[in-house]
Structure 1
Amino acid sequence: MTSTAVITGMGVIAPTGMGASSHWSSTLAGRTAIGPVTRFEAERYRSRLAGEIADFDPQEQGIANRLLPQTDHMTRLALVAAAWALQDAGVEPEALPEYGIGVVTASTAGGFAFGHRELHNLWSKGPEHVSAYQSFAWFYAVNTGQISIRHGLRGPGGVVVTDEAGGLDALAKARRQLRDGVPMVVAGGVDGSPSPWGWVAQLSGGRISTVDDPERAYLPFDEDASGHVPGEGGALFVLESPESARARGVRSWYAEIAGQASTFDPAPGTGRPSNLARAAELALDEAGLGPGDIDVVFADAAGTPELDRAEAEAVRVVFGPHGVPVTAPKTMTGRLGAGGAALDLATAVLSIRDGVIPPTANVRRPVAEYGIDLVRTPRDVPVSAALVLARGHGGFNAAAVVTRQR
């Protein structure tokens, strides 16, 4: 069986829009969805901005009342994204073999807001006020479980926890399941649940911007780069083998995931370089493509000078100076944890579909010495293949090559 996985459905839920169409139109317009935190009182914290999804009502989106007490905000987002992906793919789970659909999601830390609330109840009111659902609602694998239960998906399940690289790593695990004969997998990442507990944990890493201007806080590859802004959301996909898709009458699909790779960086202080370039090269090799075949790179875009410099170097190693257009549309949403790379991959798919590279918003002074062709306004060019890069805190690297249907 081919190693190619085809994308037959997508569910996108992001600060830039609920649904692929809304997200795409906002992204092409360069509309920044970053603003002051509203989920909790953030004035006492050094960082006060986030990329939040506005006007999300879980009941309006079809989440049953019985699920509300047992789910964190990010799980509700994931349930909606999964339902949209299945609907988009024209999938009726009950019409497929009982164990024919698997689920693989990525997470950074699970339902932090749910856990924060229950810890508050514990210390302020006592143990009898802690919800029984705390036993699983905070858990990093909860999205996989709730999606499986809601849709009766009894195929192989899994979760990966590799921070921002997780969205791509979940897709890689799903592709392995397809190679093992599973007909279909729902996979990707939806993440982020702003709460004081989670906020303090992120601030301790020292990579969050403390700038209060939403248009100046997150500026990857810019002279004024000072960190990133956290956000929430992501994307889930229906992945199939081409054989599975054709067997149920599908003749065309969004795109193909033609190559993927993951690497791990050396320990800090060793003086050895990042292995991000190696991940990109391995993904290209699996796809059977060379650097000249890639039309755009969707950057990880950490937003700190040290990490931006390392990523720019990796891009130059693979493609040469100014050798390929590079974009970072996550400047409009913030970094979404495990949902970030999944959203980037969905945006890359839309870029291939419409022949336009979306912009990197708000960057005014790209660092010249980085030697990359940073796309700052929409660029109308044919896009047949895109490379998506992602890095997770602690040394995780991931790369995926997505191509037009071949």
Structure 2
Amino acid sequence: MTRAVVTGLGVLSPNGVGVAGYWAATLAGRSGIGPITRFDPAGYPARLAGEVDGFDAAEHVSSRLLPQTDHMTRMAMAASDWALADAGVRPAERAEFGMGVVTASASGGFEFGQRELEALWGRGAKHVSAYQSFAWFYAVNTGQISIRHGMRGPSGVLVAEQAGGLDALAQARRHVRRGTDLVVTGGVDSSLCPWGLVAQLPSGMLSTAADPGAAYLPFDSRAAGHVPGEGGAILVLERAGARPGQRSYGELAGWAAGFDPRPGSGRPPALRRTIEAALADAGADAADVDVVFADAAGTPELDRAEVAALTAVFGTRGVPVTAPKTMTGRLYSGGAPLDVAAALLSIRDGVLPPSVNTGGDAAAELDLVLGAPRPAAPRTALVLARGYGGFTSAVVLRAA
């Protein structure tokens, strides 16, 4: 079976822009969660978010494209540039039909849509931009990245909320195994605008805490929801050994997806069997896993379900568990690819990043990495993601 390896990373996170900035902040335990500044949140019950600071779209996107694109798409295009440069790939020198793009999306271009809705209601239909026809679309990141780099091979988009970020990587692996030379994949999301926030509030899963240090507390008795965020990671996936000088962060060795049963059916959540299926796909046992990057929902019911799945598979305190997303908030389709990037960097540097702010209430059952990085020598990492509505996904990463 063809081995698919990650050769490039491009990252934008609320606690750091670029791989180096994100990783330094994460190991230092620096959070990017704070009061929303993109608009006045005073009239909303949830007023905190993980916003990406230090990103000037005009430095990365042409003046022609700026009025055509949403904030999330501008970030995704920049991240794709960085990932390809990190991989040492020059798309212009490659066969255009040998390169594809598969990204994930949870909401599409909400900020662009917000502005056009304001124009529609305030000034009339003639003032709505023609670019609204595609700038909001959930597949727009795939489209713009493919156009930007001349990638005309197999492409697509996965929509499964947070789990979609892992599903996109799995679809990219399928294309590599079927003969595509290179696939740009991952996810970058943003919906930090009034329309986006209002769309998320009915789930009842957003934290309404005012203190950034106490708002997102997975595996904690005080947990009362998550903080929304923006950003994510774009990765370059290639066939191992496909070109001279290829450098690899690690292999995408296993994946599985599941879907939770209907509430009240009496059947267990899908997470345990999803983990077991991903391990089987990687040809790995539970004992092979050196660290788990948790989904870390931040709500009591979902946290209990994750603890139950992890202890069932690995035993009580059987494997280190971490949730660096406690420093960024949940980034929707961008969150799981960012966790994949963190897991690969952990393997590269021999260190486990910490979870912050959350307490040790689950410490009797989970070996949580809390407060500070933990020296280690991880060779195999498991990344978990669950999406609103029952989506579940797991990826196994292995050292190159």
Q: Shorter chain as normaliser: what TM range?
A: over 0.9
Q: Which ranges of structure 2 fall in alignment gaps of 5 or more residues?
A: none
Q: Which residue of structure 2 lines up, in the alignment, with residue 21 of structure 1? A: 20
| Partner deviation per Cα, 1:22-81 (whole Å, 9 max, x = no partner) | 100100111111000011110100000000001211112x21000110100000010000
Q: CA deviation at 1:380?
A: 0.2
| Counterpart for residue 82 of structure 1 | 80
> Does 2:359 match 1:364?
yes
Deviations 1:113-134 (A, max 9, x none): 1011101110110001000000
Q: Which residue matches 1:200?
A: 198
Rate the CA distance shift 1:132–1:251 in 2: closer, same or farther, 3 A. closer
1:68 aligns with 2:74: no
Using the size of structure 1 for normalisation, the TM-score is 0.97
Residue from 160, 183, 186 that aligns with 2:184: 186
Q: Structure 1: which 4+ aligned runs deviate by more than 3 Å?
A: none
Q: Alpha-carbon deviation of 1:193?
A: 2.7
Q: Which residue of 2 aligns with 1:324?
A: 319
CA contact (8 A) 1:366 1:374 kept: no
Structure 1: distance between partners of 2:391 and 2:191: 22
Distance in 2 of aligned mates of 1:309 and 1:120: 41
Which residue in the other structure is 1:101 paired with? Answer: 99
Contact 1:103 1:153 in 2 (8 A): yes
Q: Which residue of 2 aligns with 1:155?
A: 153
1:12, 1:236 within 8 Å by CA — same for their partners in 2? yes
Question: Following TM superposition, by how much is the alpha carbon of 1:156 offset from its aligned partner in structure 2, in angstroms?
Answer: 1.1
Instruction: Describe the superposition over 1:191-235 as per-residue Cα deviations: whole angstroms up to 9, x where unpaired.
Output: 113110110010111000000100000000011101000000000
- 8 A contact 2:188–2:230 mirrored in 1: yes
Q: Which residue of 1 aligns with 2:288?
A: 293
Identify which of 134, 137, 140 aligns with 1:136: 134
CA contact 2:87–2:246 (8 Å) conserved in 1:
no
Matches within 5 A, 1:5-404: 5-60=4-59, 62-244=60-242, 248-367=243-362, 371-376=365-370, 377-404=372-399
Is the contact made by 2:258 and 2:274 (CA closer than 8 Å) also made in structure 1? yes
Note the C-alpha offset of 1:365. 3.8
Equivalent residue pairs, number: 399
C-alpha distance in 2, partners of 1:57/1:16? 15
Question: Quick check: 235-244 or 301-310, which moved more?
Answer: 235-244
CA contact (8 A) 2:191 2:197 kept: no
Asked whether the equivalents of residues 259 and 270 of structure 2 are also in contact (C-alpha less than 8 Å), the reply is: yes
The alpha-carbon deviation at position 260 of structure 1 amounts to 0.6
3-state SS of the aligned residue for 1:155? coil
Amino acid at match of 2:251: E
Sequence identity of aligned pairs in percent?
Answer: 61
Instruction: For residue 330 of structure 1, give the secondary structure of its aligned residue in structure 2.
Output: helix
Deviations 1:280-333 (A, max 9, x none): 111111111111111100000000000000001010111011100000000000
Please give the alpha-carbon distance, in whole angstroms, between the structure 2 residues aligned to 1:365 and 1:103: 40
CA distance in 1, matches of 2:193, 2:328: 18
